[in-house]
Amino acid sequence: MNKKISTVIMAAGKGKRMKNPEKSKVMHKLNGKPLIQYVTELSDKINSELIIIVVGHRKESVIEFINGKFSDKISRIKFASQDEQLGTGHAVMQTGKFLKDFKGDTLILSGDVPLLKSGTVESFQDFHFNNNFDASLISAVVDNPSGYGRILRDENDNFFEIREEKDCTEKEKLCKEINSGIYLVDTGLLFEALSTIKTDNAQQEYYLTDIFGYFRKTGRSTGAYAVKDVREITGINTVEQLEELEKSLLVI
């Protein structure tokens, strides 16, 4: 694929439920490797022209680790600071200084989702570019979708909206296809959309998912690519989840 890709890795979170406030969430280890290492290696493997890691809580430790571990690739790696935690949309906003002149598409990953495979991302890219989508996301069908944003599709099976659970009707809550939080977006349109989102929600945060509402209103084309292995998109929020995911590595 000859399309230009930049990758943004959201890695600023405090990880309050990881029970170690002195440590960046993405520096917790899975099978002996910090979570951020998995995601950075993936970003490199898919030939990202630019890798921007959004750091925040205990950011010095993340920067030091990346600079040491990826010293031979550091010319392609940048760090953006999100010192105030104002949501996922706000995290991506911090990368603007690096991406304002980038002509291509931007892949957005989470630093606490370590098992996503390069082959899956490459298939996702093919899906995005072959269908000429302006913005795409990865989804998955799960047995228990409780707590996740639902992927809503029309009668022709075309994705048209991410509906947060609190906003779902009882019928929509039965939908088992969920949003993974992994996106691929035309870079210019990404920042155009980010400039329109607001914090008028319960968390008073900038939700990255709101960009899809903007794309729908402005007639942009969007797609949702469903992966088969839910483990690939599983994020780690607790020590228990980290332990469970480590066990699952034994059977991958």
Q: What is the pLDDT of residues 153-165, one digit of tens each?
A: 999 999 999 998 8
- Tell which phi-psi region holds residue 6, choosing left (phi > 0), alpha (psi between -120 and 50) or beta: beta
What confidence tens digit (pLDDT) does each residue in 203-238 have? 889 999 999 999 999 999 999 999 999 999 999 989
Looking at the DSSP assignment, which residues form a beta bridge with residue 139? Answer: 179, 226
Side-chain-side CA neighbours of 116 within 13 Å: the count stands at 38
Helical ranges in 35-132 per DSSP H: 35-45, 59-69, 88-93, 96-99, 118-130
Name the maximum alpha-carbon separation found in the chain: 52
Ordered per-residue pLDDT tens for the chain, 252 residues? 568 999 999 999 887 778 777 889 999 999 999 999 999 999 999 999 999 999 999 999 999 999 999 999 999 999 999 999 899 999 999 999 999 999 999 999 999 999 999 999 999 999 999 999 999 999 999 999 998 999 999 999 999 999 988 889 999 999 999 999 999 999 999 999 999 999 988 788 999 999 999 999 999 999 999 999 999 999 998 989 898 888 877 654
pLDDT at 2: 62
pLDDT at 106: 98
Nearest alpha-carbon partner for 59 in 110, 14, 8, 108: 14
Q: Fold for domain 5-245?
A: Spore Coat Polysaccharide Biosynthesis Protein SpsA; Chain A (3.90.550)
How much is the pTM? Answer: 0.94
Q: What's the sign of the alpha-carbon dihedral 133, 96, 110, 143?
A: negative
Whether the CB-CB separation of 3 and 47 falls below 8 Å is answered with: no
Whether the CB-CB separation of 223 and 159 falls below 8 Å is answered with: yes
pLDDT at 251: 56
Angle formed by the axes of helices 187-194 and 210-217, nearest 10°: 100
Q: What's the sign of the alpha-carbon dihedral 208, 229, 246, 79?
A: negative
- Distance CA(125)–CA(164), nearest Å, equals 25
- Which uninterrupted H or E stretch holds 77? strand 77-81
